[in-house]
Amino acid sequence: MAAYQIVDEPSRTPLSHLMTNPFWAVLATMLGGVWLGWSWFVLNSLAIGSMHRKKELATVALGLLGSMALTLLGLWEVRQGRLDAKLLPYATTLLIAWKLAISYLLQFWQAPSYELAVYFRGAARNGALLAFAGTFLRPQIIGHLPDFWALVLS
């Protein structure tokens, strides 16, 4: 006999014990970079058993491709002489906005599944410590990468 299941109810996974509020992944993106925040969104999507899992994973891939394209465009503009290297920090505002938009979109899609998972399974882990640790981990991780990857993943 099959048990009744709500269509939107997140499925239980072997990673369910690792689920956190997606807010912490947004904060981790802001403090540590997309290397931490977006990988957290992927892990959280799998841990929650999110109803939008495929869409979330595709959005992370799109976010990385977009970050790579914007970084390449900026570096190409500098090499062509159309963008003074001193202005590059200001030009990276578009890259930052892209990363934050992707992060907020992921949080928007993941929040309903998270709320349902908490309702059906109980409390989730607190991600505050890891999110704030991103501030201190960022230079350790990003500092050892080539400039291109540092811009893409920061």
Predicted pLDDT at 24: 97
What is the 8-class DSSP label of residue 6? -
| pTM of this structure | 0.88
Q: Is the pLDDT of residue 71 over 80?
A: yes
Confidence of residue 5 (pLDDT cuts 50, 70, 90): low
Please give the average per-residue pLDDT across 51-76, as a whole number. 94
Instruction: Give the phi and the psi of residue 113 in degrees, each rounded to 5.
Output: -65, -40
Confidence of residue 148 (pLDDT cuts 50, 70, 90): very high
Q: Where are the alpha helices (DSSP H) in the chain?
A: 22-32, 34-48, 53-79, 88-121, 128-142, 147-153
The SS3 of residue 20 is: strand
Q: Is the pLDDT of residue 109 over 80?
A: yes
